[in-house]
Structure 1
Amino acid sequence: MPTTASSAQRSSQRRRRPTTARRDEEAPIIPILARKVREVEAKSQRGKLGPTNRVKFQVIAFLMREERARIKADSEMADGTRAELLKRLDGVATILAKTAARDTSLIQLLEVDQATSPVAKRMRRDWLLESGAELAPDELIITDVARTSEPVVSAALAERQVIPPQVEARREANPFLAPDLTGRPSATTPRRRLDGWELMGPLYKAFETGAGGGAASMELPPVPEFDRLSPKGLEVMVHQSRFVEAVRQGHRSFLLADEPGLGKTAESVLAASVAGAYPLLAVVPNVVKMNWAREVERWTPQRRATVIHGDGEDIDAFADVFIVNYEVLDRHLSWLSSIGLKGMVVDEAHFIKNLGSQRSQNVLALAARLREQVGNPLLLALTGTPLINDVEDFDAIWRYLGWTNGEKPGPALMEKLDQTGLTPADKAFYPEARDAVISMGIVRRKKKDVAADLPDKLIADLPVQLDDEFGRSIRQAERELGERLAAKYRRIIDARGDRGLEPGSIDEDIVRLVSLGELEESKAAGTGGDNVFTMVRKIGQAKALLAADYAVQLQRSVGKVVFFAKHIDVMDAAENHFAAAGLKTISIRGDQSTPARQIAIDAFNNDPSVGIAVCSLTAAGVGLNMQASSNVVLAELSWTAAEQTQAIDRVHRIGQDEPVTAWRIIAAHTIDTKIAELIDSKQGLAARALDGEAVDPQSSDSVQLSALMHLLRQALGGE
């Protein structure tokens, strides 16, 4: 590796300089290294060193060694000058050492003797040119190393792979996948004007500085004249329709960064339908797996979705949409990469920002294989928070979408950058570069931007699967309670006779009588024994961490969130989870004094560092103003519609200038689902009685009684 400049060159330059020349002229690279090392140090202090800054750290170390060797070897340099320059290099070395002590993974970067990657070589070349050094022709032209295709399943994961039985049946039914050669990039890419430039750093800088200003959202087509997408009874909102129209017109890769509550899941489902991107894989957090299946059924009822749990023994391998959570994806990489996927959605895509994590590697490997197999696949990254700590959080998402490979832009983005006619040396390059990336498919809308599309208050249900041992025990307890009620029912029927009941029919009067007796016994027993109240409490405990995890994701997307729970132990579990996630919270509980409660409310409304208010449904459901937030998480369901309404109305109040969304966490396949339905029916009663709305009349029974009657009918085979 050549040194920064030869001794003869330096000597010749010194003879032409005036005697008052600055020390910087003896080693012009040192001020550049000092500036760059401070930039790396600042990133490190913020707890985030992305790939570009890690390369920058490495190149600083390379150039520092080269410059130190040059200075020591320059026999014509005065001793005082040499000592001063070496002292300044020692200062750079000290900052490197402190930075490496803060992030010990950097130490291994100091062990390599030269800049070997094309990115590092370009960075070294650009800094030397900035210093005025003369470089050899072979140092000016830097070519990329040919990339090899990485296997989807690494050796470490090979033993974990599972093949669900139905997948074998699917393969036997269609053993040959038709090749898809449409839209494949050319095997040889023509050289471009910017090929020699290091571009990833400037691209990140363009976003970090907000070059050019304006929202980071691509231009979308106007709303189509006719809505051909909505199934019967549903309506696509304007902002959703424009996104799907872009897919209809041929765009296939998107970073969909809309705020929560704007229907990203529905947009993705409709986009897959318009693009014909089946089979489709959706990689999602565990807490929204069931909701994804429900949204596929709602918006594309002609398509089948299957949710992958554990080893996938019960999946429908002939489904159109496969839904898997990050935690179990590693077991299914082999068969998912071989069934001919045509599209892929990564929900909460900021989960893959850490390139060293296994889940990030799994997603990127699958996406790379998909691009190899399909000419122009549908690739969607959904996240309201693409950036968590640093602008380089974009890196993994851009790689997943195929916009970059981590070292340089992909062919499509490179062509857009080349068309600007500019280079990173031009100030005007940065807004143009930002616009080029945005045009690749970044879509970002806020609630306030599309407020006319949204209802002023929306209740969104998120069904979650309790598939651990605790969840199975809850479902077993439900079955046992139902059988106990059914045994009482049968004893009464046997004692009095069927009195003309048709075979298979149920006597609703006896159902009510048995359920009412059970309810009275449950109220008397309180928390003792297995009854409907203890069951619902256990469901709340089982949902606690899933609800808290969703609230963390939501807070990072939209800011302040109000988290409601009914039981103290659920609140405690949630607060511990928030603390572990580094979020500052306040708590509203029944045992607080009035002054303490007001201090907590003021902190939530006025202190930007407070992210979540953890509130008791009964203690915080009335009289409080928490309109600093427009998002509510209901971790547990109330027994009354009024209690739920009061909780939501802590943020849905006069002065609230955004639509309010309440996210109800519901345990699928448990009594929780029925309780949610019953609460909604009670809302309908209020709408009919007070607002004069035309809704079907519902029973006036309490939610508790109706829930018990439901369990009994279920045990009798009536529901």
Structure 2
Amino acid sequence: MPTTATAVQNGKTQRRRKPASARRDDDAPIIPILARKVREVEAKAQRGKLGPTNRVKFQVIAFLVREERARVKADDAIADGVRAELLKRLDGVATILAKTAARDTSLIQLLEVDQATSPVARRMRRDWLLESGAELAPDELIITDAAPAAAPVVPPALAERQVVPEAIEARKLANPFLAPDLTMRAPKETPRRRLDGWELMGPLYKAFETGAGGGSATMDLPGVPEFDRVSPRGLEIMPHQSRFLEAVREGHRTFLLADEPGLGKTAESVLAASVADAYPLLAVVPNVVKMNWAREVKRWTPQRRATVISGDGEDIDAFADVFIVNYEILDRHLSWLSSLGLKGMVVDEAHFIKNLTSQRSQNVLALAGRIREQVRDPLMLALTGTPLINDVEDFDAIWRFLGWTNGEKPGAELMGKLDSTGMTPADKAFYPEARDAVISMGIVRRKKKDVAKDLPDKLVADLPVELDDEYGRSIRQAEKELGERLAARYRRIIDARGDRGLAPGQVDDDIVRLVAQNELEESKAAGTGSENVFTMVRRIGQAKALLAADYALQLQRSVDKVVFFAKHIDVMDAAEAHFAAAGLRTVSIRGDQSTPARQQAIDAFNTDPEVGVAVCSLTAAGVGLNMQAASNVVLAELSWTAAEQTQAIDRVHRIGQDEPVTAWRIIAAHTIDTKIAELIDSKQGLAQRALDGDAVDPQSSDSVQLSALMHLLRQALGAE
């Protein structure tokens, strides 16, 4: 034990006196630990990746800085000169905390004195003190979890918005009492486990972030059954779908179904509800796929009735088996849905709930919690082909929805699996075992190349176009001016602090990031009112609109049907006008359409030979739709995420497609468009490491917007 360790006297933690020959850190061995931890939090904050674990770290660092400062000031055994040095080092840690809080103002409230009181925070504090060599009192070593208070499904702010359709009242009158679930029992008291004292969420995320253990993130599934016992007459499920359904038949009830887009997750979910008899079933889905969900229910389980909830739900079938609602209106239906006796819940495109502060996520998690209170082992399915958008902690909300964790620690079942490994996060071998434990809870990830051998490969081909008119030249000039503006900010900072030994032509990456981050935040606040990276990319899209439309027109004449994706309405408008002038019949899929109108457009594209092009919004039509009548996609504008691009292409690259699929990306040469395309491609690495276990070199976790601005700045400084 180090000589600076604390001793326990009268049940209190106290500091031992050090010998004169001790090192400087012996007076405050916790300070190097705090310095290391605060740098970890700062690095995450700079990338906009402060998830729950790092927010708790922030709390504990602030708490320990205050605690250690008070101790150093009061310890008479510390020489005045040493005391001044220690306080200066603590001030350095506090300064980084303040700068981090200034970058993310939601952290400011975590600086309150009474914030670091959750069990997770107290465990983290205890572990750091033990690492520093402290001896703690028994009441500090044993930390128990308080029983969580049951949160209402309907928060007070939404109470006035609640509606109860008349048809639901009729259903309640027909059966005023929910049938009791006789399988529910009072929860058994969970025995203390070896890992109860460890902070485990961070290690679990790390296990996936590093792809620990390799291999695809798919639980062990039963073999393909000899007979297809679930498909209705005239239909047949694929082998990979039947294996998933066999797992449901054997009793597994929670799944993160993360198959690549186009492998039939909707059909699997509909059939899983039938196998598990999980009715009534609630499906929370994007608005654009509500109609498709109802059709899939009718197609795969014709004996069941589905109803789509729209608006205040006046037209719903209250006695239906499957209730389908979109995220945007879920808030007004929470009250009656929470009392309906749901036995299952599906969240489609589950990455929509990754932001835990959003009302959308809170609504979904509140309903999921109520279902688990009412039903033993309900069927809970989270569907998404792209569960990770920016950071591995995007898993957090999905794991909470499935009941695997509560955000602070693993649930009882997962904790049991982790405990059975016989290891702790201090053991390197713990991480592949931990990843496997989470996967065994119900992660199912299949890739098209593995399970659909008859599905053709897809190719993304870039088509550079030259913006050589006056408008194009003005874009390049604006891009140059933005880079020079960023470079001027960079130089002012360097001049103010000095170059600190930078070699000629060398740039300070930390300052580059800081300048780019500030520009990005200002751009988001300014919106379209000033020239910034967002308005510049939009202008590039406008400049490419007719070029992309003309290419799609020529392509359509050679290959028949084409799907044309754009991000902005004015680009779509320009393309449709161009197609109309050429006499080409098109359909349009936009965010402001009603669900029936959207489905009618999709059906016309897939079945009417006269319809040559579907002009689609990248955000409104990028998920859940089946447009496999085409095998060619034109991406007129680039997305800010690789996931959004993948989702768009996979509207065509789906089961049933019998031709090679090619996505043609229209790239504005000699502009930031080229760099954005490169950045989007580099973002594939995170999901490949975390979900597929591929040996892909780690790429930057910065957003595409931030990386693009850093590129512009380096280019203006002559570093690229």
| Residue aligned with 2:134, SS | coil
1:200 partner letter: M
Q: Within 2, Cα distance between the matches of 1:253 and 1:361?
A: 19
Judged with a 3 Å threshold, the aligned counterparts in structure 2 of structure 1 residues 590 and 120 are, in CA distance, closer, same or farther, namely closer
Alpha carbons 1:617, 1:643 under 8 Å: kept: no
User: Does residue 80 in structure 1 map to residue 15 in structure 2?
Assistant: no
2:121 corresponding residue in structure 1: 120
> What is aligned with 1:14?
18
Greater relative CO (CA pairs within 8 A, separation 6+) = 2
**Paired AA for residue 667 in structure 1:** A
In 1, Cα distance between equivalents of 2:49 and 2:170? 46
**CA, structure 1 residues 92+271, in 2 after alignment: closer, same or farther (shift >3 Å)?**
same
Tell me the equivalent position of 2:331.
330
Give the aligned partner of residue 351 of structure 1. 352
CA drift of 1:25 comes to 2.1
Question: What TM-score results when the alignment is normalised by the length of structure 2?
Answer: 0.66
AA partner of residue 57 (structure 2): K
Alignment partners' CA distance in 2, 1:148 and 1:672: 46
1:428-476 per-residue CA deviation (whole Å, 9 max, x = no partner) reads: 1111111101100011112222231536799xxxxxxxxxxxxxxxxxx
Contact 2:605–2:611 (CA under 8 A) maintained in structure 1: no
Q: Which residue of 2 aligns with 1:33?
A: 34
Q: How does 1:234-253 map to 2 (within 5 A)?
A: 234-253=235-254
C-alpha distance in structure 2 between counterparts of 1:403 and 1:46, whole Å: 27
* SS of equivalent to 2:345: strand
- 1:257 partnered with 2:258: yes
Q: For each residue in 1:358-387, what CA deviation from the matched residue of structure 2 results, as whole angstroms up to 9, or x when unmatched? A: 111110110000001100100000112222
Contact 2:258 2:386 in 1 (8 A): yes
Paired position in structure 2 for 1:660: none
Question: What amino acid sits opposite 1:133 in the alignment?
Answer: A
Quickly say closer, same or farther: Cα 1:681–1:79, change in 2 above 3 A.
closer
The equivalent residue for 1:375 is 376
Which stretches in structure 2 are left out of the alignment for 5+ residues? 460-527, 567-571, 587-594, 614-628, 630-720
- Aligned pairs (5 A) from 1:154-193: 154-182=155-183, 184=185, 186-193=187-194
In the alignment, which residue of structure 2 is the partner of 1:528?
none
Confirm or deny that 1:210 pairs with 2:211. yes
Contact 1:280 1:343 in 2 (8 A): yes
Q: Work out whether 1:198 is the aligned partner of 2:133.
A: no
Amino acid at match of 2:18: R
The 1-side partners of 2:427 and 2:255 are apart by: 28
2:614 pairs with 1:679: no
Shift of 1:579: 5.5
Partners of 1:11 and 1:36 in 2: how far apart? 22
Correspondence for 1:91:
92
**Whole-angstrom distance in 1 between the partners of 2:423 and 2:153:** 37
Q: Which amino acid aligns with 1:66?
A: E
Structure 1: distance between partners of 2:5 and 2:114? 15
- 1:541-552 to structure 2, matched below 5 A, reads none
Are the counterparts in 1 of residues 286 and 327 from structure 2 also a CA contact under 8 Å? Answer: yes
Q: Which amino acid aligns with 1:171?
A: K
Identify the residue that residue 487 of structure 1 maps to in structure 2: none
Give secondary structure in 2 for the equivalent of 1:331: helix
Say whether 1:402 aligns with 2:406: no
Whether the 8 Å CA contact 1:364–1:400 is kept in 2: the answer is: yes
Cα distance between partner residues in 2 of 1:682 and 1:107: 55
Task: Tell me, in whole angstroms, the C-alpha distance in 2 between the residues paired with 1:164 and 1:267.
Answer: 30
Residue 31 of structure 2 aligns to a residue whose secondary structure is helix
Change in Cα spacing, 1:347 to 1:591, as seen in structure 2 (3 Å) is closer
Measured against aligned partners, the alpha-carbon deviations of 1:43-87 in whole angstroms (never above 9, x if no partner) come to 111112111111110000001111111111121212222222212
2:440 match: 439
Deviations 1:111-137 (Å, cap 9, x if unpaired)?
Answer: 224621101000000010111101000
- Classify 1:644/1:401 alpha carbon distance in 2 versus 1 (closer, same or farther; 3 Å): farther
Alignment of 1:291 with 2:292, yes or no, is yes
* Aligned residue-pair number: 518
Aligned-residue offset at 1:232: 2.4
Is the partner of 1:618 in helix, strand or coil? Answer: helix
Give per-residue Cα distances to partners, 1:473-532, cap 9 Å, x unaligned. xxxxxxxxxxxxxxxxxxxxxxxxxxxxxxxxxxxxxxxxxxxxxxxxxxxxxxxxxxxx
Contact 2:7 2:16 survives alignment (8 Å): no
Closer/same/farther in 2, CA of residues 102 and 581 from structure 1, 3 Å limit: farther
> What SS class does the counterpart of residue 380 from structure 2 fall into?
strand
Distance across 2 between alignment mates of 1:377 and 1:300: 19
Match of 2:387 in 1: 386
Deviations 1:610-636 (A, max 9, x none): xxxx88631554689xxxxx9975989
Give the aligned residue type for 1:119. Answer: V
Task: Identify which range, 231-240 or 666-675, moves more after superposition.
Answer: 666-675
CA deviation string 1:401-444 (max 9, x = no partner) = 00011111111101111111111222211111111011000111
How far did residue 245 of structure 1 move?
Answer: 1.1
Moved more, 383-392 or 117-126: 383-392
**2:219, 2:442 within 8 Å by CA — same for their partners in 1?**
yes
Residue 667 of structure 1 pairs with residue 668 of structure 2: no
Q: Does 1:617 align with 2:552?
A: yes
Asked which structure has the greater CA Rg, the reply is 1
What is the alpha-carbon distance in structure 2 between the residues aligned to residue 95 and residue 590 of structure 1?
Answer: 46
CA shift at 1:172, angstroms? 1.2
Q: In the TM superposition, what is the alpha-carbon distance from 1:672 to its structure 2 partner?
A: 6.6
For residues 671 and 77 of structure 1, the distance between their equivalents in structure 2, rounded to whole angstroms, comes to 78
- Give SS of 1:216's match: coil
- 1:4, CA displacement in angstroms? 8.6
Q: Provide the C-alpha distance between the structure 1 equivalents of 2:94 and 2:79, rounded to a whole number of angstroms.
A: 22
- Supply the distance in 2 between the matched residues of 1:189 and 1:583 (Cα, whole angstroms): 56
Check if 1:413 corresponds to 2:414. yes
